[in-house]
Amino acid sequence: MRAVVVAQYGTRLEVMERPIPRPGPGEVLIRVRASGLCSTDLHLLSGRMPLGELPRILGHETAGEVVERGAGVATPALGDRVTVAVDVVCGACRHCLSGQTQRCPAMRRIGFERDGGHAEYVAVPAANALPLPPALAYDAAAILPDAVACMYHSLRCQGKVGLGQTVLILGVGGLGIHGVQIARLAGAEVVATSRRPERLQLAERFGAIPVNTDTQPLAGVVREWTRGEGVDVVVDNIGTRASVREGLSLLRPGGKLLVVAYLDESFEVPSIPLFKAEREIIGCRGSSRQDLIEVVRLVGAGKLTPVVGAHYPLEQIGAAVERLERGDLVGRIVLTRE
Ligand SMILES: [Zn+2]
Ligand SMILES: [Zn+2]
């Protein structure tokens, strides 16, 4: 089968011929119909996060149909349309038992430490394959596990965002545009930033107040919007020293900074303002299995709209990566299959 792999760190993503995987006991084989391209795929290529044995097939946003089942699999059924939870977890540690599967120390992730969905087929544990509502298209379904569920987990579980709160979303790219929708759905007021007018237009359509940080003073807008108090929650989808510093400075006392991105190796935090105003800095990684189940339900009910910005055939991974790096689109890039 054809698959997008990291063959060597620091080079480029390549399409290679790989054997079709066999589903082991408790696993299903999925014929992949669409897979989302994430900027993390490019981080993985750099070697900053080790992937184990190379070549490794990337792809942690996957949707397709179940075409084979390993021993002992009761659900999903053959032919079921599914999306795929990223984390393969132990199911027995304190985090798994309390539903916080995204914290399982034994986890191996699909498209990271084990082969992923940028391929024609992928074998995954049956428990990771979640059935889709009938009307949900494969491209939209593919991006749920990361681009949508990550924002759901961050805002709902980590940020505990609710009715009447003020939320500032720094960066409305592939993740942030779903963050806007989820914060609005939770009953919050939202300001969203970008330097790209087309992204801001869509954020505004989803109910955010758009701020173009090239032309508008964010601090001034936030001050006026919150009557000088600062926002309840900042979602940092940028992950630089500058974005963390700015995010913290715009929080009200007791506000939460949700750190979703990690572009810079380390952040610096001014100590006195953090201490005096009891602000919280909270790391957010991925989503729990339950988060993804809830996201699938919300999308199926038409309350959340997955935003796919562009489609490329798997074979055109080079062009898709160029587009991702250029960033001249709104929403996620999805790799399609024949
Ligand atoms: Zn990702
Ligand atoms: Zn566990």
Residue pair 82/66 in contact by the 8 Å Cβ criterion: yes
Cα of 139 from ligand 2 centre, angstroms: 29
Mean pLDDT confidence for 227-235: 98
Report pLDDT digits (tens) over 290-329: 999 999 999 999 999 999 999 999 999 999 999 999 999 9
Q: Is the dihedral of CA 130, 134, 136, 137 positive or negative?
A: positive
Report pLDDT digits (tens) over 254-286: 999 999 998 898 999 999 999 999 999 999 999
Cα of 270 from ligand 1 centre, angstroms: 29
Cα of 273 from ligand 1 centre, angstroms: 32
Structure token digits, residue 305 = 């709209």
Q: Is the dihedral of CA 49, 108, 58, 305 positive or negative?
A: negative
- Residue ranges with strand state E in the chain: 2-6, 14-17, 27-37, 56-57, 62-69, 81-84, 87-88, 108-109, 121-125, 129-131, 166-170, 189-194, 209-212, 231-236, 251-259, 280-283, 308-313, 332-336
Cα of 275 from ligand 1 centre, angstroms: 32
pLDDT (0 to 100) of residue 204: 98
pLDDT (0 to 100) of residue 219: 98
Which of 121, 17, 33, 125 lies closest to 70, judged by CA? 125
Residue pair 270/293 in contact by the 8 Å Cβ criterion: no
Cα of 39 from ligand 1 centre, angstroms: 6
Report pLDDT digits (tens) over 21-73: 999 999 999 999 999 999 999 999 999 888 999 999 999 999 999 999 999 99
Which of 259, 204, 199 lies closest to 235, judged by CA? 259
Cα of 257 from ligand 1 centre, angstroms: 20
Task: Please indicate whether residue 338 or residue 305 has the higher confidence score (pLDDT).
Answer: 305
pLDDT (0 to 100) of residue 116: 98
In the chain, what percentage of residues exceed pLDDT 90?
A: 96
Confidence class for position 199, pLDDT limits 50, 70, 90? very high
Question: Nearest ligand, CA of residue 106?
Answer: 2
Residue pair 309/332 in contact by the 8 Å Cβ criterion: yes
Cα of 15 from ligand 1 centre, angstroms: 19
Cα of 40 from ligand 1 centre, angstroms: 5
Please, which residues have CB within 8 angstroms of residue 184's CB and are 6 or more apart in sequence? 190, 206, 207, 208
Confidence class for position 338, pLDDT limits 50, 70, 90? confident
Mean pLDDT confidence for 109-123: 98
pTM score of the predicted model: 0.96
The residues whose Cβ lies within 5 A of ligand 2, an ion, are 89-90, 93, 96, 104
Question: Nearest ligand, CA of residue 86?
Answer: 1
Mean pLDDT confidence for 183-199: 97
Mean pLDDT confidence for 94-121: 97
The count of residues in the chain is 338
Question: Nearest ligand, CA of residue 98?
Answer: 2
Report pLDDT digits (tens) over 131-169: 999 999 999 999 999 999 999 999 999 999 999 999 999
Tell me the average pLDDT of the chain. 97
Residue pair 5/106 in contact by the 8 Å Cβ criterion: no
Cα of 41 from ligand 2 centre, angstroms: 24
